[in-house]
A and B are shown apart, each in its own frame.
Chain A
Amino acid sequence: MTPTLSITDQPIDIAAALAAVQTDAAGAVNSFIGTVRNQSGGRPVRRLHYESYDSMALTQLGHVVNQAYEKWPMLQEVAVVHRKGTLELGDVAVVVAVATPHRAESFAACQFIIDTLKQVVTIWKREEYEDGTEWVAAHP
């Protein structure tokens, strides 16, 4: 039940993240895969640059997963892998995988983890456009 949490500058191995949550006690494995999209608010995006404060990101990720375990005590295994560095269109930026006995909790826990990750985990994203770059969400 120790979650697999990591921040990596290497391409994410989706199969490995799914394998990390495999357990005979689970009848459901649910995953979210976040990928790099070619536009943001209608503005074409060329690529993304992710920056991470690794030690705090992992600490906060641990809190998020602990909250998920409190909300869904039947939650079995969790894996969260986030990429950092420069990502091209289509690259995988994040994978969340959870294993639960039944499917309803697997959807709910997976969504909770990715939604809360986006609010508290110390990772920043700079979008690169044809004519410049911008830190996402930095300004009102």
Chain B
Amino acid sequence: MYAEDMSLKIALFGITREIVGTSVIELPAPAPATVGALLDELRKQYPALGELRSCAVAVNNEYARNDHPLHTVDEIALIPPVAGG
């Protein structure tokens, strides 16, 4: 189990920053504290995230799978569809 006061900071970029309205949000860690649970929680709070072509989560600068655990010290970011080049 995870401490109830464990919170996560999530960096937002591009369209996810516009949807949420800020470049960083802090929220209580979901239980279990995984990428998949975090995405579920964010889509619940911000339904427009569910309309994107994709929405990945990065942990410490790497793309992370749904079962990847999250910790307070992690650098977490929402990654909407990239469009470099």
Contact = CB atoms under 8 A, between A and B. Distances in A.
Interface of A: 34, 50-53, 55-57, 59-60, 82, 93-94, 114, 117-126, 135-140
B69 interface: no
Given A118-B84, A119-B82, A124 B53 contact: no
Nearest to A62: B61
A135 B83 contact: yes
B82 A122 contact: yes
Contact of B15 (A53, A121, A122, A135): A135
Interface in B60-85: 61-63, 75, 77, 79-85
29 contacts: A51-B13, A53-B79, A56-B58, A57-B84, A59-B61, A94-B85, A117-B84, A118-B84, A122-B84, A123-B83, A123-B85, A124-B13, A124-B14, A124-B80, A125-B83, A125-B84, A135-B15, A135-B18, A135-B80, A135-B83, A136-B83, A137-B53, A137-B83, A138-B14, A138-B15, A138-B53, A138-B83, A139-B51, A140-B53
Given A53-B58, A82-B85, 20 more contacts: A55-B61, A56-B58, A56-B61, A56-B77, A59-B61, A59-B62, A82-B84, A94-B84, A118-B85, A119-B82, A121-B84, A122-B58, A124-B15, A124-B80, A124-B84, A135-B15, A137-B53, A138-B14, A138-B81, A139-B51
Given A51-B14, A124-B14, A93 B52 contact: no
B85 to A, nearest CB: 4
Contacts of A137: 53, 81-83
B11 interface: yes
Top 5 A-B pairs, shortest CB-CB distance? A123-B84, A124-B14, A136-B83, A59-B61, A125-B83
A3 to B, nearest CB: 16
